[in-house]
Amino acid sequence: MKISEFATFLEEIDKRSGRIEITQLLTEMFRRAQKNEVKPISYMLLGKVAPDFEGLELGLGDKMIMKAIALATGASLEKVKELYDSLGDLGLVAEKLREKRAATLLDFTTTKTQERDVVSVFNELLKIANTSGEGAQDTKIKLLAKLISELNGAEVRYVVRMASGDIRIGVADQTIIDALAAAFSANEELVERAYNITSDLGFVAEVLAISGEEGLKQIKVQPGRPLKPMLAERAQSLQEIFEKMGGKAAFEYKYDGERVQAHKYDSRVELFSRRIERITSHYPDVVEALLKGISAQSFIVEGEIVAVEPETGEMMPFQELMHRRRKYDVEEALQKYPAKTMLFDVLYVDGVDYTSKPYLERRKKLEEIVQESDSLALSTMMITQEVGEAQRFFDEAISAGCEGIMAKTLDPAVGYRAGNRGWAWIKYKRDYKSELTDTLDLVVVGGFYGRGKRAGKIGGYLLAAYNPSNGSFDTVCKVATGFSDEDLVEIPKMLEQYRIPQKHPSVNSKLNADVWYKPVVVMEIVGAELTLSPTHTAAFSKIREGSGLAVRFPRFTGRIRSDKSATEATTVDELVEMYKSQLKKVQE
Ligand code: ATP
């Protein structure tokens, strides 16, 4: 497939907002592609060159891209910057400057270079991503400049956006899965499962294109290939949990730390975060504890890494653990914040896939293979059918420094549901002295300058929920409370790298922010309740015509959810669910 044809498809997709139409276009595109093109196309649709866990980043940073554009088009860097300020999109800037260049060269060019196809453009992007070491920045800029100079029109626009790691077409993973299933006549659930157990859409797409459904069935859970995490629904009361779980359930402490999926193979351990990024190098002590404490040649286990107070062995808040994430002082952090891993699941042991086995069987296996120590233990667990007992367990969990409890189904027919949020796991968290029984993880899309003491500085943020049906970020509230003096300095500084001159196209907002950000950073907030509001766009007209959902009295909890990507933020559908259960609670 020529890159121009691919770009035309992307332009068409850009014009649509309905999921069905977009899926049809993608299906048509996959049908027209050669077998070897399906993988690169899948990655490029996500603005990537590899699955997240490989850590191969394209995001070149605005400055580098501007330099490449200048180099490729002969425009001055000032001109590029000026255009960026007015157009708000480096893809458009490159496209515009290329047009000019082509026009001035028209009379002199007699030969046209051969048009690139998607595979060759993908390989160039991959080369850029793989360039490292001394002089890497310059090399990357030159490679990108060369690519830009060989492309035209929409091709340049999209390739430059890919280089910036932000393709801006708002196609969710799920939409690509649907299109792949339709294009290759495969069962959607099979494609989805393959994706959920490999976290690699390009790989799944290629297997499907080459070997069809049969190929998909051969994909197995395998150490080294992270699975998408199983996720929980939330409940308002313990009674509700027992209702959903059929009267009896297992309860575990819900630890306040960082989720980890640990894989052992070839005598080594790799750690993956909740958003499937490799975090092995941040936790050498966790790796060591797992190597020592688990008696199996190969395994995949899941747990929560918590920070402990070195003197007392007591758990410390999540923020303390986040200090560990600063890559450079791992050694120092090891002393200051020793970590303990609380294991709560096992997905694979020595050739046996445990994901289809029920909770109790997995728990038993975990008990069998783990030798507890100061740095490794199983999550505290109990099984009960009584609300009173569950309540006591919850109180204990809170006083031990946990966020609440997790209920897990004992249904023998239910296994580990990779990539699914469902009622097989239910979280029940401490009430943060507010009416909303859970925190919300919202995406920062804009900022507002403060007044008074905060004049001239960003003092509030526009926050949005994720809408997976069309890939948009729909606003829910403005938050300006809960920030410490340090937050007021550090957060705007951290957000600066995501600042863009205009509203990001995937942001759906009626409000005009003073500054706009790429939807990347996820902020945790609490609020008094959800209300209907005509100024916010989340779940717009879903509950009442002309109104969206908004958070009343939102407050920042002090936690930036760097373990979540923007597409893992609270979704619009979750808000609708929360609104409905809030209504039910009021009626009771
Ligand atoms: P939250 O913001 O509440 O942590 P989340 O969206 O990250 O939610 P959920 O699936 O909704 O994830 O809640 C479960 C999370 O709680 C897990 O991702 C995990 O990090 C954490 N956790 C702590 N203890 C446990 C446990 N015993 N079993 C499962 N998950 C646990």
The CATH number of the domain where 453 resides is what? Answer: 2.40.50.140
The protein residue with its alpha carbon nearest to ligand 1, atom 12, reads 231
pLDDT of 435:
53
Range 171-180 average pLDDT: 94
Q: What is the DSSP letter of 507?
A: E
Alpha carbon of 144 to ligand 1 centroid (Å): 40
Say how many Å lie between the first and final Cα of the chain, rounded: 59
Please tell me whether residues 287 and 243 are part of one structural domain: yes
242 is in an annotated binding site: no
232 CA distance to ligand 1 middle (Å) = 7
Entry field: residues in the chain? 588
Q: Say yes or no: 270 and 335 in one domain.
A: yes
pLDDT higher than threshold 90 for residue 436: no
Q: Is residue 181 part of a domain?
A: no
In this predicted structure, what is the pLDDT of residue 313? 74
* 3-class DSSP state of 302: strand
Q: State the DSSP string of 214-261.
A: HHHHH----TTSPPPPPEEEE-SSHHHHHHHTTT-EEEEEE-SSEEEE
Given a cut of 60, whether residue 574 has pLDDT beyond it is yes
Residues 393, 323 within the same domain? yes
Q: To test the ligand 1 pocket, which listed residue (241, 406, 428) has its Cβ within 8 A of the most ligand atoms?
A: 406
- Average pLDDT on 32-48 reads 96
Q: Determine the pLDDT at residue 353.
A: 98
- Dig out the tokens for 328 from the structure: 């450079």
Instruction: Note whether 422 and 447 are same-domain residues.
Output: no
Q: Does some domain include residue 527?
A: yes
pLDDT at site 111: 43
pLDDT digits (tens, 9 = 90+) for 519-567: 999 999 998 788 888 889 999 999 988 889 999 888 999 999 988 999 9
Between 101 and 395, the more confident residue is 395
Q: What's the confidence (pLDDT) of residue 110?
A: 38
pLDDT over 70 (residue 480): yes
Rounded (5°) CA angle 60-522-556: 140
Task: Cite the active site residues.
Answer: 254
Domain hosting 363: range is 231-433
Label residue 104 exposed, middle or buried (CB < 10 Å: 0-12, 13-18, 19+): exposed
Task: Say if residue 515 is in the same domain as residue 416.
Answer: no
Residue 264 shares a structural domain with residue 281: yes
Task: Check residue 432 and give its pLDDT.
Answer: 41
- pLDDT per residue over 222-238, tens digit each? 999 999 999 999 988 89
Q: What is the pLDDT of residues 250-271, one digit of tens each?
A: 999 999 899 999 999 999 999 9
Q: Ligand 1 centre and the CA of 362: distance in Å?
A: 18
CA distance linking residue 294 with residue 369, whole number of Å: 5
199 in a domain, yes or no?
no
Domain end: 398, 433, 468, which one?
A: 433
Average pLDDT for residues 265-293, to the nearest whole number?
Answer: 95
Instruction: Quickly count: other Cβ atoms within 10 Å of residue 332's Cβ.
Output: 12
Report the predicted TM-score, pTM, of the whole model to 2 decimal places: 0.84
pLDDT confidence of 85, banded at 50, 70, 90?
very high
CA 254 to ligand 1: nearest atom = 24
Q: What is the pLDDT of residue 310?
A: 72
Residues 308 and 349 in one domain: yes
Residue of the CA atom closest to atom 19 of ligand 1:
259
Cα distances (Å, whole numbers) of residue 250 to 163, 398, 486, 489, 542: 47, 17, 41, 43, 35
Q: Would you state the pLDDT for residue 118?
A: 97
Residue to probe by mutation, ligand 1, list 255, 345, 402, most atoms within 8 Å of CB: 255
Quote the CA–CA distance of 211 and 207 in Å, as a whole number: 6
Flag whether 194 is in a domain.
no
What per-residue confidence (pLDDT) applies to 586?
A: 61
Q: What is the pLDDT of residues 389-426, one digit of tens each?
A: 999 999 888 878 888 999 999 999 999 999 999 999 99
- How does pLDDT run across 372-387, given as a tens digit for each residue? 998 999 999 999 999 9
Choose one of 379, 411, 433: the last residue of a domain. Answer: 433
In the listed set 146, 163, 180, which residue is the last one of a domain according to the structure?
163
Residue 324 assigned as binding residue: no
Pair 469, 542 in one domain: yes
CATH number at residue 300: 3.30.470.30
Residue 204, domain member (yes or no): no
DSSP secondary-structure letter at 49? S
For ligand 1, mutation pick of 228, 260, 344, 578 (most atoms within 8 Å of CB): 344
In a domain, 112, yes or no: yes
The total number of structural domains in the chain stands at 3
The verdict on residue 130 lying in a domain is yes
- Establish whether 168 is an annotated binding residue: no
Cβ–Cβ < 8 Å for 259, 232: no
Mark whether 241 and 364 lie in a shared domain.
yes
Measured from CB, residues less than 6 Å from any atom of ligand 1 are 229, 231-232, 252-255, 259, 274, 304, 344, 379, 406, 427, 441
Residue with CA at minimum distance from ligand 1 atom 22: 254
384 and 499 both lie in a single domain: no
Cα 147 to chain centroid distance, Å, stands at 29
Angle, alpha carbons 329-497-91 (nearest 5°):
135
Tell which wins on pLDDT, 207 or 18: 207
Regarding whether 444 and 317 lie in a shared domain, the answer is no
Question: 3-state SS string over 94-136?
Answer: HHHHHHHHHHHHCCCCCCCCCCCEHHHHHHHHHHHHHCCCCCH
